[in-house]
Amino acid sequence: MIRGRSLPVIMLVGLTTLWFLFVWDKSTARAAEASSASLQEQGNGLMKNVEEMVAHGGMGDAKAIVHHCGEAKRYAETLIKQLSLSDPHRADALTSLNEVIRQCNRVSDIGIHADPGMLLNPATKARAAAQESIKSLGLTKANKG
């Protein structure tokens, strides 16, 4: 007996504690994986839309540029909401993602009836900012599953 408790009781308490820690660790890991997978998915969506946006700029399709820039803005806003406060690259990513939003707002303000060439400048700036944010977060397409 140790301090009035029998060895089987102490072992039971110890095993229960170990089981709890094991389960807690697994659920925390799954939450981190889900968060990482979600960030990757949002990053892929952001990059797909900025690439489509610039491609349509080369084709002279102002309506498509505005549409894809709106989608890129939505993905950037979602990424900002999902960024962990403890992420060491959060500040750099926030700066770049806010630049995506700012440039896409410019595209939207210029509108679909403008010459597509006028939309291409802010669209390419939005793409560059998106690429920088993906790079700072380590969300490259090579990580895609």
Residue 62, domain CATH: 1.20.120.660
Integer Cα distance of 34 and 82 in angstroms = 11
Q: Residue 46 belongs to what domain range?
A: 37-143
Residue-wise pLDDT for 79-137, tens only, equals 999 998 888 889 999 999 999 999 999 999 999 999 988 999 999 999 999 999 999 99
3-state DSSP of 53-120: HHHHHHHCCHHHHHHHHHHHHHHHHHHHHHCCCCCCCHHHHHHHHHHHHHHHHHHHHHCCCCCHHHHH
For the whole prediction, is pTM greater than 0.75? no
Integer Cα distance of 89 and 100 in angstroms = 17
Is a pLDDT exceeding 80 seen at residue 31? Answer: no
Is a pLDDT exceeding 80 seen at residue 20? Answer: no
The pLDDT of residue 143 is 41
Residue-wise pLDDT for 42-67, tens only, equals 999 999 999 999 998 888 899 999 99
**Is 31 a domain residue?**
no
Angle at 96 between CA 92 and CA 115, to 5 degrees: 170
**Is 4 a domain residue?**
no
* Residue 37 CB partners (closer than 8 Å, separation 6+): 145
Amino acid at 59: M
**Is 93 a domain residue?**
yes
**Is 121 a domain residue?**
yes
The pLDDT of residue 15 is 66
**Is 108 a domain residue?**
yes
**Is 63 a domain residue?**
yes
| Domain tally, the chain | 1
**Is 5 a domain residue?**
no
